[in-house]
Amino acid sequence: MASFYGTTLPNPLMLGTAQYPSPAILERAFRESGAGVATVSLRREGAGRAGQAFWQMVQDLGVLTLPNTAGCHTVKEAVTTAHMAREVFDTTWIKLELIGHTDSLQPDVFGLVEAARILSEDGFQVFPYTTEDLIIGERLLDAGCEVLMPWGAPIGSGRGLNNEYALRVMRAEFPDVPLVVDAGIGLPSHAAHAMELGFDAVLLNTAVARAGDPVAMARAMMGAIEAGKLAHDADPIEARDMAEASTPVIGKAFLT
């Protein structure tokens, strides 16, 4: 398993905490998924009794917490939210989201690099939600990030891996950098494919939270991610254009 800022995850699934039908279903889904990380929005945690109860439930799950800056559209807003999250959740981890396009929720990669640099200098361990662009990846690493989180597809779209080629290239370009496919996963097969490509973890939320049966889907995602990782580690065969017989010709009987 890859190390994320010196921490090895117990499971390569990172699961969000928003949009579940109820807190009880959220808790059951987490336990069935075996997720090692819970992503939490400062807005979701909120204030007052409801917020305190939610935060206590997350703590009781016994998983690592990754606060995010969801909904931020400017560098100042993202940096301010990150500082607030550090105080509330008592962690230097931050999933940095800085949205640049309202409809696709594509990250503003220019602001992302700037915010990542500021936060890294302030002692944060930044998990940037980014595109699969190699140059932006380089800039984020130069800014102090030790993890990259390229999207599979737009947040909540369930489209899977829109640009498999670019994700493959990113994995090859940064062989020693922990990489997480973040956003767009809709099916267990999408999650398995991300792990088959050699990614170190998958982050998802909507696919589980909005499923007809979130608990069953959480269990399915766990199995798919485990299968994908095992398949990658097993060094699968390359795809071929032509057939290749699996039965050897040597020793075959020939009639004359």
Q: Could you list the active site residues? A: 95
Strand arrangement of the beta sheet that strand 125-130 belongs to: 149-150, 125-130, 93-96, 64-68, 37-41, 13-16, 201-204, 180-182
Report CA-CA distances (Å) from 7 to 36, 162, 197, 205.
11, 29, 22, 22
CA 14 to centroid of chain Cα atoms: 6
**C-alpha to C-alpha distances, 150 to 161, 183, 184, 236, nearest whole angstrom:** 10, 8, 10, 24
Residue 11 annotated in ligand binding? no
The answer to whether the annotation marks 206 as part of a ligand binding site is yes
Report whether 183 belongs to an annotated binding site.
Answer: yes
Structure tokens, 236: 């699968």
Has 115 been labeled as part of a binding site?
Answer: no
For the chain, the C-alpha Rg in angstroms (whole number) is 20
Q: Under DSSP, is residue 84 helix (H, G, I), strand (E, B) or coil?
A: helix
List the one residue out of 15, 16, 25, 21 whose CA is nearest residue 216: 25
Q: Is 207 annotated as a binding residue?
A: no
Report the SS3 class of residue 20.
coil
Q: Which of 134, 142, 140 is nearest to 163 (CA)?
A: 134
Give binding residues as ranges.
Answer: 156, 183-184, 205-206
Give binding residues for 1-deoxy-D-xylulose 5-phosphate as ranges.
Answer: 156, 183-184, 205-206
